[in-house]
């Protein structure tokens, strides 16, 4: 199995020691690691807690006849 530039980039960037050693190095023809600053992501709307279903509704249904 051949070692691609992308695999090298992932190994270097995900390893603390290799990352420090090769901090300023550019690996040619390697992809860019996905990284989006959380500040730039859209904000999720806050969920409103739903009230629990009342047992009265379940009791008012008529039973099915066999």
- pTM for the predicted model, two decimal places: 0.42
pLDDT of residue 52: 65
Give the confidence band of 17 by pLDDT, cuts at 50, 70, 90.
very high
User: What mean pLDDT value characterizes the chain?
Assistant: 78
Task: Report d(CA 19, CA 13) in Å as an integer.
Answer: 5
User: Between residues 50 and 24, which one has the greater pLDDT?
Assistant: 24
The residue extents of the domains of the chain are: 6-33
Task: Report d(CA 15, CA 17) in Å as an integer.
Answer: 6
Query: Within its chain, how far is the Cα of 11 from the centroid?
Result: 20
Q: Is the pLDDT of residue 1 over 70?
A: yes
Query: Within its chain, how far is the Cα of 12 from the centroid?
Result: 21
pLDDT of residue 11: 86
Q: Is the pLDDT of residue 9 over 90?
A: no
């Amino acid at each position: 199995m051949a070692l691609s530039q992308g695999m090298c980039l992932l190994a270097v960037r995900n390893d603390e020691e290799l990352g420090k050693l090769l901090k300023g190095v550019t690996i040619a023809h390697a992809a860019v690691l996905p990284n989006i600053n959380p500040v730039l992501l859209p904000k999720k709307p806050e969920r409103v807690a739903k009230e629990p279903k009342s047992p009265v509704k379940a009791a008012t249904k008529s039973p099915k006849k066999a």
